[in-house]
Amino acid sequence: MYRKLKFTYLTINANFSTRVAIDATIKENFDTKQFKPRKHPGTTRVKTAAVPPDIQKAIKIIIEDTGAKSMYQDSIKLSNYLRSRLLPPEDDDINAKATKIYDSVSKKYRSNINEELTVEDEKYKKKIETSVFNVLKKNVYRWGNISYDKPTCLQYLMARAAPEYAILVRVLDEIRKKYPDYIPRSFFDFGSGVGTGTWAINNFWHGDIFEYFCVDTSQHMHDLSRLILCQGKDNVEFPFKNYFQRQFLPASSDLKYSIVLSAYTLFEMPSMKSRMETIQKLWNKTEEFLIIVEQGTNAGFRIVNEAREFILNLPKDKNSGYAFSPCPNDNVCPRYLEHQTPCNFIMKYEPLPISSKSEVMADLFSYVILRKGARPSDDPQWPRVVRAPIVRSGHTICKLCTAQGELKEIIFSKAKYDQTTYRCARSSNWGDLLPVK
């Protein structure tokens, strides 16, 4: 399904240098001191995030009332398990492995049995099949979706609410930063869980969202998310009027939503086919932005890239779109073509005050924001910093994903670059856009 495009991976060293400079359209803003290199317009504004105080207070009440604190260690185990998950094996992959194992085992039996017998004899055929099955059990990943009962939902709340909220705030700020006047009217959260999507969207557009539509297969998750919004108390009136919860994704695409979110949900689909069908349905329900967020692992990145490729390969009509963020291009992701490392980013967050530890933590994530329509002609398509820059005396090394769909490693030296370009590169962090051409 992936487009076969050539790409160039350029490692720039002292003998070969790609010259870049501050985007000419904003150079005057630096000259007049409207922009400063330390806070150039490509920097990520959300460095660290914490769950809002009112939500924290509600969570504290729920944990105390349910005695969930005793499950804190189990919540850590759940979080570690979620990070370590692999994608469910596809039938074709299993069949290919089974065929290879069968050939190997039957060859072994053929060399051991009497020449008058053949491996087709029922006795030996059954032995071979049993051996193949036993080897497959050890070599095929045992995937299973998670059943979120009440205890598991509470464990998820304690372990994942803080990092997921912080990441969603970081991702949504990409929209707010580029379009500060944009006001979404509706929000659809697929796999809404404990409600982190609603908390994050309200961080930017509280009072502007006319309708919230939340889908999650676990009724326990729905109950917990409503309880949190009711300050953790059953007798408090629900604060939103047009807030709807469903357990299944509606088949109809008549209703569309300004922002559609799928965060840490596609992992629960049993196959690539089911993931693609779900992405198509979510895209059909998208009016403006579709956001996919997953763990920053190889498996999580693969899911995000599947969604990106699927949407960008749709026919160029009124239902097509482009990569809004983090990609400055619509080409095949060079990270995927490398088959070495995921395109991911890091977000710092303050954990919930459940344990005695209160230090700032960090979580890796992969994401893509897809926008309906064609890429605007005035989109600057600045390169994205895709790894932590290496800062040394007199120079900074930045690994960039460019508008051409290439990965470039550029050395910004104090001697070869103007002060503004050099200082912007030196002030940039992993995940920032670098305002250069």
Write out pLDDT tens, residues 215-241: 999 999 999 999 999 999 999 999 999
Q: Which domains does the chain have, with CATH numbers?
A: 9-42+382-427 (no CATH), 48-84+148-372 (3.40.50.150), 91-139 (no CATH)
From CA 7, how far away is CA 407, in angstroms rounded?
9
In the predicted structure, residue 113 carries a pLDDT above the cut 60:
no
From CA 369, how far away is CA 178, in angstroms rounded?
13
**pLDDT tens figures, 298-312:** 999 999 999 999 999
Q: Which of 18-27, 167-176, 194-203, 283-292 has the lowest mean pLDDT?
A: 18-27
The secondary structure of 84-148, three-state, reads HCCCCCCHHHHHHHHHHHHHHHHHHHHHHCCCCCCCCCHHHHHHHHHHHHHHHHHHCCCCCCCCC
pLDDT band at 118 (very low <50, low <70, confident <90, very high): low
From CA 292, how far away is CA 263, in angstroms rounded?
6
pLDDT at position 175, please? 98
pLDDT at position 17, please? 53
Residue with tokens 């309880």: 227
In the predicted structure, residue 119 carries a pLDDT above the cut 60:
no
Residue with tokens 């619509």: 330
Mean pLDDT, residues 16-25 taken together = 80
Residue 334 and residue 407 in contact, taking contact as beta carbons nearer than 8 Å: yes
Residue 418 and residue 20 in contact, taking contact as beta carbons nearer than 8 Å: no
In the predicted structure, residue 145 carries a pLDDT above the cut 70:
yes
In the predicted structure, residue 7 carries a pLDDT above the cut 60:
no
- pTM of the predicted structure, to 2 decimals: 0.90
Structure tokens at 365: 């994530």
pLDDT band at 142 (very low <50, low <70, confident <90, very high): confident
What is the DSSP secondary structure assignment for residue 39, as one 8-state letter?
G
Q: CB neighbours of 372 closer than 8 A, spacing ≥ 6?
A: 286, 287, 288, 289, 319, 320, 321
Residue 242 and residue 254 in contact, taking contact as beta carbons nearer than 8 Å: no
Q: Nearest CA to 110 among 122, 118, 100?
A: 118
Mean pLDDT, residues 354-381 taken together = 92
Residue 408 and residue 10 in contact, taking contact as beta carbons nearer than 8 Å: yes
Residues in the chain: 437
**pLDDT tens figures, 265-283:** 999 999 999 999 999 999 9
User: What residue ranges in 174-240 does DSSP mark as E strands?
Assistant: 186-190, 211-215
pLDDT band at 18 (very low <50, low <70, confident <90, very high): low
